[in-house]
Structure 1
């Protein structure tokens, strides 16, 4: 599994005016709807339900909200760079500005976990996160995310 398999260029966005975790979940869901045709209402409910199990803010300004969604056939992702970090109840209590959401089919077991592991591993790289934060252009962000694997493989 590769980033390019999870993410479409149109599923990458820079957002400037988010003030809460709930508003962010709506923005992520709207992005998933426009990029993949998922129901924004269904995805926001699934993301919020998952958050009740425990916050998905993994630390160092990164959040990985994820949910299973009926009707999906593949695991897909959406990435948002926040111009102003928000409180996300992250494990390290630091505000979040890099948000990678994953949506998986209801029956996806191993594929969902592999995708989460890939995103988590990638967004743990400080240099990659610094590049993402320094480039507020969606196409550039997509390129940074999808080319990070090519560099590692070379």
Structure 2
């Protein structure tokens, strides 16, 4: 599977404005809501609850707040870039600049973990993280991620709902 099968250009915000963790999760939830089929408020609540269970901070200034929620139509992800960085997680984590939000239906545990793993593998690259921080538009960030993913491991595309319906 590819991360890009679950990330649309519309779900990328190259300039997050949040000044605290709660507002940041609200921003991510707003990016996820249209494709998830759930309200921003409800998604933000679930992201906060999951974050309370344990920090989703990774190395290199990356955090991947995620949740599994009944009512979410399909796996959806978003990417937010916080130029100034934001304290997220514990003080030992420092400032985060790249935030990937993810919401999945509860019955997709294996796929959920696979997508998380794919995201982590891509964002493990300091070169890619630095390049993302230099992007200025959602299209530019999406294109950069698509190129990086194609070179990491060329997985076949995960069929979308539209692909399945048109077979």
Paired residue secondary structure (1:89): coil
Where does structure 1 differ by over 3 angstroms across 4 or more consecutive aligned residues? 34-37
**1:58 corresponds to 2:58:** yes
Secondary structure in 1 matching 2:53: coil
Could you say what secondary structure the match of 2:47 adopts? helix
Alpha-carbon RMSD: 1.7
Q: Equivalent residue for 2:5?
A: 5
TM-score by length of 1: 0.92
- Structure 1 residue 57 displacement after superposition: 1.2
Secondary structure at 2:74 match in 1: coil
Q: Take 2:81 and 2:43, find their aligned partners in 1: how far apart are those partners?
A: 19
**Which shifted more, 53-62 or 84-93?**
84-93
Partner of 1:85, secondary structure, is: strand
What do residues 93-135 of structure 1 show as CA deviations (whole Å, max 9, x unaligned)? 2200100111110111100000110001111111111110111
Q: Which runs of 5+ in 2 are unaligned?
A: 155-167
Match of 2:157 in 1: none
Name 1:112's counterpart in structure 2.
112
1:74 counterpart = 2:69: no
In structure 2, what is the Cα distance between the partners aligned to 1:146 and 1:59?
A: 21
Larger-gyration structure (1/2): 2
Q: Structure 1 residues 92, 118: CA separation in 2 closer, same or farther (over 3 Å shift)? A: farther
Aligned length: 154
Q: Secondary structure at the match of 2:14?
A: strand
Aligned to 1:31: 31
Is the counterpart of residue 89 in structure 1 residue 89 in structure 2?
A: yes
User: Which one has a larger percent strand, Structure 1 or Structure 2?
Assistant: 1
Q: Give CA deviations for 1:37-70 in whole Å, capped at 9, x if unaligned.
A: 4311111011000011111111211000000122
Contact 1:56 1:90 in 2 (8 A): no
